[in-house]
């Protein structure tokens, strides 16, 4: 059988070769036109960041000795260099890249396709989406990529990844769209990522994912790997989401997120069946922010969100991503399809801007106490949602922690909720300030991390 197949295949090749020789037609398949269109708009990014580190010593890692030596440990400044990729998205020099590529950089250099170099400045970014916008001063008539519509992508579409892997220079890899709306990659709460098997490696971060016509359909941002190199599972931020972030930063200097004012959960098969749904798709609303848009416009606890503005909702991540990517939701009524009492209903919801966090609600702590160099903030519904906490949570939460463990040995994390300090209940920032004024022989601190309560005792 194999011999017969081999003979048959050989005959096909011979016929094809004969046909080609007779007609003289070019039969080579190529995406060179797409690469020629997109390549000049993809740049290499090189950054430098100055960091200060204390010289290592075995005593400094010991909680007892560290309280005597940590502050006297010699400090050395060093320069960290990193590389990545970026995409020019306007003729005047606006560039999209990943925030982790340029975060903390003191110098950002852009190298164009032809090898020329230009300094760039940081305009703004979005930590939760790992996106940053850069600007080239005095730039005109630059080659740039036009945004494609990522909502129209289908599994199996051709995808080309363009970037600077391992610093080798601009390279192109080809694959297909492996999945869309991927929200279980643990990259961001605003999931909805594009998954592709086009090779993405270190240095590709911030580069372009383009379709067969050379239009921008995503910003390459992460890979799933155990070796550090491509394993055929890469993720890109959809172009519609990236475009919304870009427009927000360029117009207002920040991402002005529409706010729904509710939290929910994904549906299991069993839960969907109990609710009378054919498939486990949608978001089950569990909590409403007091006087938030959802509550004010008739959304109820127990509703299942099935669609937003005509777009199907599959899970919480796709729902969050849909809200973020549609900035025009603000200040207009949007049809929301819900499953309520065994049938579909449509509710008109007027979205509002996400409530801004105020500097007056934050406090950077200093002094000889276990919370030295921590930043705390008064909880609000919007901050609670950002930290993935219940919307009606109250109290004071850690929002920034020092890189090194304190001399007291305390190691709190962002999102930890302070409950008590030496027996005093913590409700406000002032409660923390008053509790830290005391000088006890030992500190007794209680905090909540997720659903668990922890208590630590540290010596003065």
What are the residue numbers of the active site? 100, 130, 205
Quick one: which of 239, 242, 258 has its CA closest to 250? 242
- Chain centroid to Cα 194, Å, comes to 13
The distance of Cα 71 from the centroid of its chain, to the nearest Å, equals: 35
Residue 197's SS3 state is coil
112: left (phi over 0), alpha (psi -120 to 50) or beta: beta
Q: Are 128 and 221 in contact (CB under 8 A)?
A: no
Helix (H, G, I), strand (E, B) or coil at 146: coil
Find out whether 336 and 346 touch, Cβ atoms under 8 Å.
yes
SS3 label, residue 177: strand
Q: What tokens does 356 get?
A: 């801004």
Instruction: Report which DSSP code applies to 405.
Output: P
Instruction: Return the structure tokens found at 250.
Output: 């360029």
Helix (H) or strand (E) holding 130, with range, is none
Tallying the residues shown for the chain, one arrives at: 460
Q: Find where tokens 């209903």 sit.
A: 345
The bridge status of strand 117-119 relative to strand 107-111 is antiparallel
CB-CB neighbours of 453 under 10 Å: 12
The answer to whether residues 283 and 264 touch, using CB atoms and an 8 Å cutoff, is: yes
**What is the DSSP pairing of strand 452-459 with strand 171-182?**
unpaired
Residue the block writes with tokens 């430098």:
48
Cβ-in-10-Å burial (0-12, 13-18, 19+) of 398 comes to buried
> Could you tell me the two tokens for 271?
């839960």
Distance CA 194, CA 163 (A): 17
Distances (CA, A) of 226 to 182, 220, 230, 233, 451: 19, 18, 9, 11, 30
Determine contact, residues 157/218, Cβ cutoff 8 Å. no
Q: Tokens 């200060």 identify what position?
A: 52
Find all residues with CB under 8 Å of 226, minimum gap 6, and list them.
Answer: none
| CA–CA distance, 143 with 121 (Å, rounded to integer) | 19
């Amino acid at each position: 059988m194999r011999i017969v197949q081999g003979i048959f295949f050989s005959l096909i090749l011979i016929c094809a070769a004969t046909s080609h020789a007779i007609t003289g037609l070019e039969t080579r398949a190529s995406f060179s036109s797409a690469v020629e269109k997109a390549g000049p708009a993809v740049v290499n990014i090189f950054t430098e960041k100055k960091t200060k580190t204390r010289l290592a010593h075995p005593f400094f890692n010991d909680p007892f000795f560290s309280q005597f030596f940590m502050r006297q440990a010699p400090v050395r400044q060093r320069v960290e260099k990193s590389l990545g990729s970026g995409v020019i998205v306007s003729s005047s020099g606006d560039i999209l890249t990943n925030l982790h590529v340029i975060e903390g950089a003191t110098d950002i250099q852009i190298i164009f396709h032809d090898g020329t170099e230009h300094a760039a400045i940081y305009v703004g970014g979005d930590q939760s989406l790992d996106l940053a916008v850069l600007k080239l001063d005095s730039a005109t008539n630059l080659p740039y990529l036009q945004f494609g519509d990522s909502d129209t992508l289908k599994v199996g579409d051709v995808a080309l990844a363009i970037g600077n892997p391992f610093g080798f220079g601009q390279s192109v890899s080809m694959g297909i769209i492996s999945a869309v709306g991927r929200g279980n990659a643990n990259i961001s709460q605003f999931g909805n990522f594009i998954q592709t098997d086009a090779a993405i490696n270190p240095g590709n971060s911030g580069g372009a994912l383009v379709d067969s016509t050379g239009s921008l359909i995503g910003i390459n941002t992460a890979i799933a790997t155990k070796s550090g190199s491509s394993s055929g599972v890469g993720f890109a931020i959809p172009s519609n989401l990236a475009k919304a972030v870009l427009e927000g930063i360029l117009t207002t200097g920040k991402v002005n997120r529409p706010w729904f004012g509710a939290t929910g959960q994904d549906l299991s098969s069993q839960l969907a069946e109990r609710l009378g749904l054919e498939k486990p798709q949608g978001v089950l609303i569990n909590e409403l922010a007091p006087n938030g848009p959802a509550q004010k416009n008739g959304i109820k606890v127990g509703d299942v969100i099935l669609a937003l503005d005509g777009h199907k909702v599959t899970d919480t991540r796709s729902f969050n991503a849909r809200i973020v990517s549609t900035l025009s939701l603000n200040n207009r009524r949007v049809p929301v399809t819900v499953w309520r009492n065994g049938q579909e209903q449509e509710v008109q919801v007027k979205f509002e801007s996400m409530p801004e966090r105020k500097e007056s609600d934050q406090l950077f702590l200093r002094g000889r106490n276990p919370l030295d160099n921590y930043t705390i903030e008064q909880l609000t519904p919007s901050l609670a949602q950002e930290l993935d906490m219940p919307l009606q949570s109250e109290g004071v939460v850690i929002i920034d922690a020092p890189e090194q463990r304190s001399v007291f040995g305390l190691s709190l994390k962002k999102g930890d909720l302070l409950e008590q300090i030496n027996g005093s209940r913590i409700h406000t920032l002032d409660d923390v300030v008053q509790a830290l004024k005391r000088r006890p022989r030992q500190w007794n601190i209680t905090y909540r991390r997720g659903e668990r309560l922890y208590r630590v005792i540290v010596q003065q």
